Amino acid sequence: LPLLAAVDKKLSFFDRIAACFKDYRDSKRIEHSARDLLAQRIFALALGYEDLNDHDLLKRDPLLAAIVGKKDLLGKQRSRSRDTGNPLASSKTLNRLELTKEDSGPQERYHKIVCCDDKLESLLVDLFLESYSKAPRKIVLDLDHTDILLHGKQENRFFHGYYDNYCYLPLFIFCDKQLLVAQLRSSDGDPMRGVIDELSRVVGQIREAWPKTKILIRGDSGFCREEFMVWCEAQENVDFLFGLRKNNRLIDEIEYEKLLVEADYILTGEPQRRVKEFQYTTLH
């Protein structure tokens, strides 16, 4: 926790996240600011406490309270006697934060802390840009989607044949180890959905700060689509490198290299690799 708090202090992380939310609550009647609620929830997630009901115990933790920024670490000065001994928010209070809809407003009774999605999405890219002292000559944006297994009756659950389970299929965009995009998606649609929209936003934001930086977009064969490659080619200083699904024409092209690899393996007993470069276009 102290190490995570040091990161927050350097980046003003939770203050900036809180700025991505609109809090319509009466400031005179609240004990936990939106910033404190977000810090409590995110710190707990980082420590492996995924479920909201974990906070029915964590709300008493004086170390977590200190890292969040609470001054009353033992919860002795709470406004209601039933909350005495709990310096942090309960699962019910955090639940109000998580269940607030984007069109909520001051007229709501409980759910009044609204997330501004566009600001939150931009913040990830801002933090990435700020991590560089000067514009790099070239960056690589890696695209990926992976499964998040579901173990209950979650909303929009769907059975995915490839992963052989019920799961979500979120989209991620990384640059090296830095996360630029995390988009939660159900697993019953095209893995390409939303990719061009997200990249258009990210590349545009990067271009504003680094107009001359070359960008390489990289992904596996699931992203090798005609419309996506056309989009990449239309961008200035953007290259792409995608995997290509195996097909008979490609297999025939590397038949000789396959024989060489097999022969080398028989001679050495060690795994072998050969690379062949050639021109290839689709038939259509």
pLDDT (tens digit per residue) in 40-63:
999 999 999 999 999 999 999 999
User: For the chain, what is the mean pLDDT?
Assistant: 92
**Looking at residue 280, what is its pLDDT?**
86
**Looking at residue 79, what is its pLDDT?**
87
Residue 185 banded pLDDT, cuts 50, 70, 90: very high
Position 109 pLDDT exceeds 90: no
Best CA proximity match to 143, nearest among 46, 228, 230, 45: 228
Best CA proximity match to 250, nearest among 258, 239, 261: 258
**Looking at residue 28, what is its pLDDT?**
86
Per-residue model confidence as pLDDT tens digits over 77-104: 898 889 899 999 999 999 888 888 888 8
Can you tell me the mean pLDDT for 136-141? 97
Share of the chain above pLDDT 90, in %: 76
Over its C-alpha atoms, the chain yields an Rg (Å, rounded) of 25
Could you give the CA distance from residue 8 to residue 112 in angstroms, rounded to a whole number?
25
Look at the block and give the residue holding tokens 């996360």: 179
Per-residue model confidence as pLDDT tens digits over 241-254: 999 888 999 999 99
Position 136 pLDDT exceeds 80: yes
Position 169 pLDDT exceeds 80: yes
**Looking at residue 54, what is its pLDDT?**
95
Residue at 128: amino acid letter: F
**Looking at residue 103, what is its pLDDT?**
85
Per-residue model confidence as pLDDT tens digits over 207-231: 999 999 999 999 999 899 999 999 9
**Looking at residue 104, what is its pLDDT?**
87
Question: What residues form DSSP beta bridges with 186?
Answer: 168
Letter string b/e over residues 90-128, b meaning 16 or more CB atoms within 10 A of that residue's CB: bbebbbbbeebeeebeeebeebbbbbeeeeebeebbeeb
Residue 263 banded pLDDT, cuts 50, 70, 90: very high
**Looking at residue 91, what is its pLDDT?**
93
**Looking at residue 102, what is its pLDDT?**
84
Can you tell me the mean pLDDT for 187-202? 93
